[in-house]
Amino acid sequence: MTATAITLRIAQRDDAQAIALMSRDLIEAGLGWKYEPERIRRAMNDRETVTLVACDRSQLVGFAIMEFGEERAHLVLLAVRPSHRRHSVGRRLIEWLVDSVATAGLASIHLELRSSNEAARAFYRAMGFTETILVPGYYRGKESATRMVRVLRVPGPLPFNWRPPTLDKK
């Protein structure tokens, strides 16, 4: 597998089962299954939500779900299969989403992740996110979350002549 073999696309209805299973196994392990296929389909049908998938040929190897609000976006879920980690799949998903958020003129991206997940915390820090607060018991009373944010611009109304920033490509 090479990084160039990975393609990104908007999720299709048939992807919901694979996304839900990845969420169950890679994100929600030990917490109970909350993001079942029907919930993933509802997110995919929501006009304020983007569900992006990464594919290695025909195999779904990663996904991200992001909700877009008035001023901020919320990264709901992101997962990459262990076999495809450290091959820039997560980075490419985040870069695509950051570009979309910046183009939409939103001020920031927010997310929560398990505080115990050091690898994910390091990944998000490398992607420009900053840890903001620890939330005890966030995950169904079982585990704490770390909230993180990536600020793209100063919050507030956009000036009339605003244009999306040119984002650094690493």
Report pLDDT for 153.
Answer: 83
Q: Is 143 a catalytic residue?
A: no
Report pLDDT for 58.
Answer: 83
Report pLDDT for 86.
Answer: 87
Average pLDDT, the chain: 89
Give CA–CA dist 47/93, Å, rounded.
19
Share of the chain above pLDDT 90, in %: 69
Looking at domain 3-109, its CATH class is alpha beta
Catalytic residue among 28, 35, 124, 139: 124
pLDDT tens-digit profile of 77-91?
999 998 888 888 999
- Confidence class of residue 121 from pLDDT cuts 50, 70 and 90? very high
Report pLDDT for 154.
Answer: 72
Q: Report the relative pairing of strands 49-56 and 59-68 from DSSP bridges.
A: antiparallel
Catalytic residue among 36, 67, 112, 143: 112
pLDDT tens-digit profile of 45-99?
999 999 999 999 889 999 999 999 999 999 999 999 988 888 889 999 999 999 9
In contact, 97 and 73? CB cutoff 8 Å: yes
Domain boundaries, the chain: 3-109
Share of the chain above pLDDT 70, in %: 88
| Residue 39: HSE in the Cβ half-sphere, 13 Å Cα cutoff | 12
> Of 54, 147, 42, whose CA–CA distance to 96 is shortest?
54
Contacts of 14 (CB under 8 A, 6+ apart): none
Q: Is 112 a catalytic residue?
A: yes
Mean of pLDDT values over 137-159: 84
- The answer, as to whether pTM is greater than 0.85, is yes
